[in-house]
Amino acid sequence: MKKLFKLSTTTTAPDPAHWVATHADYLYTYALARLDDEDLCRDLVQETFLAALEKLGEFRGESSERTWLTAILRYKVIDVYRKKNSAWLVSLEARDPEPEYFEPDNGHWKEAWAPRPMSIDHTDPTLRKELASILEKCLQRLPALWQAIFSMKHMDEMKTEAICEELKVTPSNYWVILHRAKVNLRACVEKMWS
């Protein structure tokens, strides 16, 4: 039987000469979505390129060049989160308890606390852009640790265990912070959207 497909065993080597032109804007946008500091994001992209140059021999071609660079940048963003949060990490269990806003088994809003309908036309690109802008502003108002956990969970889609390990928080603190971030984001978006 004749083979129809040939698996390629060659991988394309990274081409540092084209990284800035090909990947800088994407990496900058990635960092800026997670950190609200343009200068810091530019620095992190430069640091990403330098780290990639140092690790050029370690690139195995199992992912695209952009995916590899983004992974390096993601760890640099996590380092920023760690530095911002090292002084902030206090035990949340010692604070006053809050109402239980979410169902314990699935993390969804309890009916009494569920967000009100916002009556936006999801097909209207202008309204969607406005809502995205409001959400970004609200996200930037969260404490650094809350913003880090929310971004890592819902933007980077990292697993809970990995987030706890990277940010050095306990699972119970993680869930409290994530819930508080959601409550605060909801209140902020509802206020700004009105």
The verdict on residue 22 lying in a domain is yes
What integer best gives the mean pLDDT of the chain?
A: 79
Residues 103 and 180 in one domain: yes
Residue 115 lies in a domain: yes
For residue 79, the enclosing domain spans: 16-85
Same domain for 146 and 106, yes or no, is: yes
24: CATH: 1.10.1740
Indicate if 37 and 97 belong to the same structural domain: no
Residue 7 lies in a domain: no
Return contacts of 38-46, CB within 8 angstroms, 24+ apart. Answer: 40/80, 44/73, 44/76, 44/77, 44/80, 45/73
Same domain as 151, residue 65: no
For tokens 């603190």, name the residue: 173
pLDDT tens sequence across 22-80: 999 999 998 888 887 899 999 999 999 999 999 888 888 888 889 889 989 988 988 88
Which string of DSSP letters, residue by residue, matches 21-84?
HHHHHHHHHHHHHH-S-HHHHHHHHHHHHHHHHHTGGG--SSS-HHHHHHHHHHHHHHHHHHHH
**In angstroms, how far is CA 159 from the centroid of its own chain?**
12
Question: pTM value?
Answer: 0.54
